[in-house]
Amino acid sequence: MGWFYVICGVYLLVAFVTDIRSMKIPNRLTLPVTAIGVVAHLAWGGWRGMWFSLAGFAVGFGMLFLMYVIGAVGAGDVKLFGGIGAWTGFTFGIHVIIYSILYAGLIGLVILLFRKDESMRIRTMMFNVFGFFKLGSLKLVSHEKTLKFPFMLAVLPGFVSSWIYMFG
C-alpha cells in the first residue's frame, strides 16, 4: 500500500501548484481524489480498508474544518486534508496536520519578522495569547490586515516530514 502514499504525494504536488498560483484548491481536484481514495482502499482492503480510509478522511476534514471556522484556513484546505486522510489513514493524517501547523507557524513568524510593522503585530499577537490564557477569550478576528500565505507552503513539507517520521 506504499503506492497510496505516492498517489497522495502527487495529489499534494498538484494542489501545491494550484494554491501557489491562485490561493485556491479547486473542488474538481479535491472531491474526485478523495472519493477515489476511499474506493481504492475498499477495493484493496475490503471493508477494513474502507474504514481505514474513512477514519483518515474524518480526522483530516474534521480538524481542518475547526481551523476553517476560526478563519485559519480556506475551504479548499479542509477538503484537501480530507483527501490526504482518505489516502493515508488516521495516524498519518494526524501527523501531516501537526507538522503542517508547525511549519505554518514558522513561515508566519518569518514573514512577520520581515515586515515593517512586525513589532506591532508581535505585540498584538502576544497580547491576544496572554488574554486567552488569563481571561479565557481569544480575539479571533482582527480589524487589521491579516497575514495570509498559501497553506500548501506548510502542507508539502508537513507531508514530507510525516513520511520521514513514519517510514524513514
Q: What's the rounded mean pLDDT across residues 15-20? A: 95
pLDDT at residue 131 in the model: 61
Instruction: Output the CA torsion sign for 24, 29, 32, 35.
Output: negative
Q: Identify whether the C-beta of residue 149 lies closer than 8 Å to the C-beta of residue 107.
A: yes
Selected residue with higher pLDDT from 100 and 146: 100
The three grid cell numbers given for residue 166, joined into one nine-digit string: 513514519
Query: DSSP string of the chain?
Result: -HHHHHHHHHHHHHHHHHHHHHS---HHHHHHHHHHHHHHHHHHHHHHHHHHHHHHHHHHHHHHHHHHHTTSS-HHHHHHHHHHHHHH-HHHHHHHHHHHHHHHHHHHHHHHHTSTTHHHHHHHHHHHHHHHHHHS------SSPPP---THHHHHHHHHHHHHHHH-
pLDDT at residue 112 in the model: 76
pLDDT at residue 138 in the model: 47
CA 75 to chain centre: 11
The three grid cell numbers given for residue 9, joined into one nine-digit string: 504525494
pLDDT at residue 63 in the model: 97
Structure pTM? Answer: 0.82
Amino acid occupying residue 105: G
Residue ranges of the domains in the chain?
2-167
pLDDT (tens digit, 9 = 90+) per residue, 49-97? 999 999 999 999 999 999 999 988 999 999 999 999 999 999 999 999 9
Residue 122 and residue 160: Cα distance in Å, rounded?
29
pLDDT (tens digit, 9 = 90+) per residue, 103-141? 999 998 888 777 766 666 666 766 666 665 555 544 444
pLDDT at residue 21 in the model: 93
pLDDT at residue 56 in the model: 98
| Angle (CA) 32 43 9, round 5° | 50
pLDDT at residue 141 in the model: 45
The three grid cell numbers given for residue 70, joined into one nine-digit string: 476560526
Query: DSSP string of 29-57?
Result: HHHHHHHHHHHHHHHHHHHHHHHHHHHHH
Q: Identify whether the C-beta of residue 102 lies closer than 8 Å to the C-beta of residue 158.
A: yes
